[in-house]
Each structure stands twice: as C-alpha cells, then as structure tokens.
Structure 1
Amino acid sequence: RPGNAPIGYVPQQRAFDPDLPIRGRDLVGFGLNGHRWGVTVRPEGVRKRVDGILRRLDAARYADAPVGRLSGGEQQRLRIAQALVGDPTILLCDEPLLSLDLNFQQVIVQVITDWNRTRGATVIFVTHDINPLLSAVDRILLLAGARWAAGSPDEILTSETLSRVYGLPVEVLRHRGRVLVVGAELGGHEPVLAAHEDVIG
C-alpha cells in the first residue's frame, strides 16, 4: 500500500478524475505517508525528498499541477516518482512504460536500472513490450496458462521456448538489440521480468 517504504509499486495506469483536488507533489508524497488518514503537514525533509525525485524524473513542472488535468504520460511519471520516493528495496512495476514516449521510456528504464544497481533493490516488471526493458533485466518468467518458462533473456527469448510455452508456432527475430516475436496471436500473456541485486549488482 502507499507509504509502505520497503516496497514501491507502479500500478497499471488508470486516468484520474479531472476534478481530483490533488497536486502532483501530494500524489508523490503518498509514497511516504499514504498510510496516514487525512491531510498531513509534511516536514521539510519529506518535501525535499519529493522534490528531489520529481527533478530526477524530469517531472518537477507537475509538482503543483492538479493530477487530473495532466496527460496519461505525465500522470505515469508521477506514479513512478511515488513508487521511488520511499527508497524501496523491492520495486513492483505493472506496465510502467504505458503512455510514455520513447525518449522518456529510456529515461525511466535508466532510473530504475540505476536504482537496482546502486541500492541493491529487486525490481519486477510485468509488461507486454519487453524491448525497452531488455537491457535492464537478467531474468524472465513467462507465464501462459499452466505453462511457464524461467531463465535469462537469451534462454527464454527463443523460437523453441516461446513455441513450447504458448503452444503455438512462434519465430523470434533479432535486429539491432530488439526482439521481434512473429507468430499466431498469443492471447495477451505477459512476461514477468526481474532485475535482482544478486545478479545485476
């Protein structure tokens, strides 16, 4: 839950009510004290942490904006800032790159990768699009119904492994560091990607 500092969570994106009377800074601050009921006066140190993570994610300009009036990508930056502001040791990200342009996807992946490597944090991604994250992960857990596969990206992202797990003929093509999966409709199954300090650190 928000305010549980050891665990940071980026939920799947849902638009906020346009009339929600919460500023960007308030939303991010819930990552530190969201477990408390009611409006709280945050100490100066808390404000500095919130402002610091907003700057790091190039989101400082949204600090005083009503979150409901921001675009989907702008709201997503604030959700990621909220997840990181508590300096979590475990970071759970459910489709964290939705609504973000390609440039900012790279910024977010780099920030989260740095978090993993410098703080020894464990990071788990759930995503449909693995390409922006391939440079940041060392383990993949692929789930498709009752079938699964786990291993390194090189072990999992092969035609043989994907065809076995999905039960369909799948071809994996690689070009300039990107992976293209070609085959029948895969039914919306998602790979779970992980970066852990024991492997990456």
Structure 2
Amino acid sequence: MASVPHARQGGRPDGGAAAISLRGAALAYGDRTVWSGLDLDVRPGEFVAVLGPNGAGKTSFVRALLGREPLSAGTLTVLGRPPRTASRDIGYIPQHAALSAQAMLRARDLVRFGIDGHRFGPRLRSAAVRRRVDEILESVGASTYADVPLGLLSGGERQRVRIGQALATDPRILLCDEPLLSLDLRHQRAVTELVDARRRSHGTAVVFVTHEINPVLGLADRVLYLAGGGHRVGTPAQVLTSESLSALYGTQVDVVRVHGRVVVVGAPDEPATPAHHPRQTRETDGVRP
C-alpha cells in the first residue's frame, strides 16, 4: 500500500536525520504476509501512532525496531545502525500486564534496572545513581510510592514507573507497546501526557502502539495503520477516513467523528492466522484494532 509523505505538524519533528528508517520492509510468517512494502521515516520529536486490528503485526513491528524480529525483506535502521546495536538509545514501555517475579520489587528498583540493569556483576551504589533514580521518579510523578512494591501499586502507578524505567538511559527513541491497556481514562491521559512531555522537552521520537486512537489523537503527528497485509501512513486526518480505511480493508468501513472523537464502524478483525473472518459490524469507542 502506498505511504503518504511525512507532513510536519506544529514544528515538533525537527526535520533532521531519521531516528527510524524502513525501506521496502516486510514481515511474514510462513505463507502469511503480516505487512510488506513499508517505507517509513520517524524523525526526532515525532509522535507516530501505530494502529490496526489484532494480528496485523503491531507488536511485531515494535519487536523489529528492538531487533528481536528480523524482517523478511527490506531494510531497517535505528539511529543509522542495525536495530539491536541501538538498544541503549531506546526506551521501551511494554503493555500493562500481570506481575510475577517483579511483584516484590520496589518502584525505585525497577527504575534502577533501567540505569544499570545491562551491567554484569554488582550494581553501582553511588550517590549519583540514587539521585538520578529520585529525579526520574519525580519527573513521572512516582516519588510518593518510590519504596512501595510494584505488586501493591495500581495499574496506572505501575505504568508511571515503567515510563521512568524507559527514560532512565535518556533515550532518543521511545517505543510504547499498548501502554494504555487496562487503564481507565484518567490514567490513560496521565501516561500519554508523560510520553508527550518527554518528546517535546528532549526531541525524543515516539512510536506508540495503541488500541485506542482517541487518547493520542491530539498528539500524533502521523498514523501507521496496519491491516490485511497492507498499510497506510499519513496524518490522522489523511489516514482515518472512510475512503482510506475501506481501501485498506477491502470492505466498507465508516469513520465518524463525534464530539472530537473518532469512531470506526465495520472494520473486520484480523486474526493471527492466515484465515480472515470478518466480524459483525459494530461501533468501536475509537479505533479498536
């Protein structure tokens, strides 16, 4: 599917060398093509929202950027290098998930891992590192529960701490993989505002995978919409239209805007297997991939 050239909005992307660059990129599992022919540059300071139905390859896209999923075709560079070699310059915010081994870690411990978890042997115990942890916790509004085990925190509080961990190495890129799942609207707003504040203050490139476009609709410079092995790239106004999504899905899809919110009607689900089984037409509160 054709991509729409990058459109600069509000002067936020700095127009410099791309932080992330894909050319002719494709990902396939056996005979199933997840997405292909993807040309995309993400600039420093740019916020790109990644949307699409289940099984469309959104998380696989993030894994490719992390160097954990090799492309089937095409090229990918992160900060001008192969993706895995740029890991120290990438902050990763995972999906909100149930805790296991991390449940008894304190919030400050998780942030500390973001600073020196890559080191072999004993961790550094310097006052400078402790101050850095405190500064990060304060910046994400988590100072009051810095010494509380993660298992006792709410989902929104844990996501604040995970953002702190992702920011610990002063990353040039933030990869956010469904960080809003299971969060209420208040915590969704808090998480998106923290991410947006970082990209504005430091020129950090943001790739934000989400089930819901509405919490980031006013923040996203561009949208990458994955579906049916194809894609659309452009501003939200260019991509989130009935014409654009109908062409992408190969069936009638209606995009309605109600009180500033985007509602998509009739988009079929995209299963994780090669078979395609359209769901019944229904309204979604935003884009429900």
TM-score by length of 1: 0.83
Structure 2 unaligned segments of length 5 or more: list them: 1-65, 67-86, 273-286
More helix as a share of residues: 1
- Cα offset for 1:188? 6.8
Match of 1:140 in 2: 223
* Counterpart contact for 1:76–1:99, Cα < 8 Å: no
- How far 1:92 sits from its partner (Å)? 0.3
Shift of 1:94: 0.2
Shift of 1:51: 1.6
Deviations 1:43-98, CA, capped at 9 Å, x for gaps: 22222222222222222222111113333332222111111122210000001122
**Structure 1 residues 61 and 98: CA distance shift in structure 2, 3 A:** farther
The offset of 1:118, in angstroms, is 2.0
Percent identical residues: 51
Partner of 2:133: 50
**Which SS does the other structure have where 2:225 is aligned?**
strand
Secondary structure of 1:14 counterpart: coil
Q: Residue 93 of structure 1 is aligned with which of 161, 167, 176?
A: 176
Q: Which residue of 1 aligns with 2:98?
A: 15
Q: Paired residue for 1:196? A: none
Deviations 1:14-38 (A, max 9, x none): 2212774421100011111111245
Q: What amino acid sits opposite 2:202 in the alignment?
A: R
Question: Alpha-carbon deviation of 1:185?
Answer: 3.5
The alpha-carbon deviation at position 160 of structure 1 amounts to 0.7
Alignment pair present for 1:158 and 2:250 = no
Q: Which position in structure 2 is the counterpart of 1:82? A: 165
The answer to whether residue 121 in structure 2 is matched with residue 64 in structure 1 is no
- 1:39 to partner: Cα distance: 5.0
User: RMSD value over aligned CA atoms?
Assistant: 2.3
Matched residues, number: 188
- The TM-score normalised by the length of structure 2 is 0.59
| Contact 1:166 1:186 survives alignment (8 Å) | no
Identify which of 113, 119, 141 aligns with 1:36.
119
The gaps in structure 1 that reach 5 residues or longer are 192-201
